[in-house]
């Protein structure tokens, strides 16, 4: 979820999801849009009994600020961090924020792992999450980026949005064959798409989002786009639960967060599954 400017909104939005999910991802000024500090939002959620997964983006801070954020998260009890490079801000955002990129993602992951190994620091170790990209593995492809993130300390990979079931099956079959699923867990991102227009925007602007034409066509032809988006998401949740190597799903709502709960309910799966 995007942390809101209001503490009450941030807590109520996360609390509404907590019954059907294992954790709530707090994004770090996604797409360059300014929101409440993820560290501040994490503190609010922890007080409310909701487990936050705090995203930290190399694009937005220099190395001093990044390490400071990690130490602050550790101090307040955050146990899950998603450490990413950060996408280019889409065209049309003005004034445009300047990218920092003082550290690369693998260096930030390694820094979090160093914090984990420091016996002088109090607090629980971070579960370190990194990003990955579903694609069609070509002959001879070597997952060097994934291996590099694992070697740096990543334990979980969350992929980009993927609505392409057949490509996902091929991708996961390759990772299973390479035994990478024994080294890290793979979580696939899905969204409750409220309309064809939103689906197209995400396809064109979100990093390598895989939203096939048939998904957009279903939304175009539906009488109620939001309800159709929930139906699509719940169908894919059931299918992804059957694909070997997938450990979970990262659910995103570009509209009403309540649609996430509806999709989980309609899928018949519990959050533990």
Q: How confident is the model at residue 2 (pLDDT cuts 50, 70, 90)?
A: low
Q: Which fold has domain 1-132?
A: TIM Barrel (3.20.20)
CB 2 within 8 A of CB 33: yes
Give me the chain's average pLDDT, please. Answer: 92
Q: What is the pTM of this model?
A: 0.92
CB 170 within 8 A of CB 134: no
Once rounded to an integer, what is the mean pLDDT over residues 254-273?
A: 86
In which order are the strands placed within the sheet that holds 156-161? 24-26, 52-57, 80-84, 127-132, 156-161, 185-191, 246-252
Domain assignments of the chain as residue spans, ordered by start:
1-132, 159-273
Q: What is the pLDDT of residue 154?
A: 98
Q: Kindly report, residue by residue over 155-214, the tens digit of the pLDDT.
A: 999 999 999 999 999 999 999 999 999 999 999 999 999 999 999 999 998 889 999 999
CATH match of 159-273 with 3.20.20.220: yes
- Between the two ends of the chain, the Cα-to-Cα distance in Å is 21
Closest CA to 27 of 84, 105, 97: 84
Closest CA to 36 of 62, 58, 72, 6: 6
Q: Pick the more confident residue, 95 or 42.
A: 42
The residue with tokens 């096939």 is: 212
Q: Kindly report, residue by residue over 55-91, the tens digit of the pLDDT.
A: 999 998 999 999 999 999 999 999 999 999 987 776 6
One fold for both 1-132 and 159-273? yes
């Amino acid at each position: 979820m995007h942390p809101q400017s209001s503490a009450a909104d941030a807590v109520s939005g996360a609390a509404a999801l907590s019954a059907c999910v294992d954790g709530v991802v707090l994004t770090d000024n996604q797409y360059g849009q300014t929101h409440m500090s993820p560290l501040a939002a994490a503190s609010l959620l922890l007080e409310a009994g909701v487990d936050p997964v705090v995203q930290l983006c190399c694009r937005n801070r220099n190395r001093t600020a990044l390490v400071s954020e990690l130490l602050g998260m550790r101090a307040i009890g955050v146990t899950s961090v998603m450490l990413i490079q950060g996408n280019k801000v889409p065209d049309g955002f003005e004034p445009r924020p300047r990218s920092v990129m003082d550290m690369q993602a693998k260096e930030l992951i390694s820094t979090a792992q160093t914090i984990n190994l420091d016996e002088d620091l109090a607090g629980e170790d971070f579960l370190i999450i990194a990003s990955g990209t579903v694609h069609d593995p070509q002959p001879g492809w070597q997952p060097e980026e994934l291996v590099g993130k694992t070697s740096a300390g990543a334990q979980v990979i969350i992929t980009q949005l993927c609505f392409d079931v057949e490509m996902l099956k091929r991708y996961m079959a390759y990772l299973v064959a390479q035994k990478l699923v024994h080294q890290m867990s793979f979580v696939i991102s899905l969204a409750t798409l409220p309309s064809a227009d939103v689906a197209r925007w995400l396809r064109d602007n979100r990093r390598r989002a895989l939203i096939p034409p048939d998904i957009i066509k279903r939304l175009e032809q539906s009488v109620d786009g939001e309800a159709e988006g929930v139906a699509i998401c719940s169908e894919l949740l059931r299918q992804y639960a059957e694909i070997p190597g997938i450990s979970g799903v990262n659910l995103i709502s570009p509209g009403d967060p309540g649609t996430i709960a509806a999709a989980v309910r309609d899928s018949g799966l519990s959050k533990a599954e």
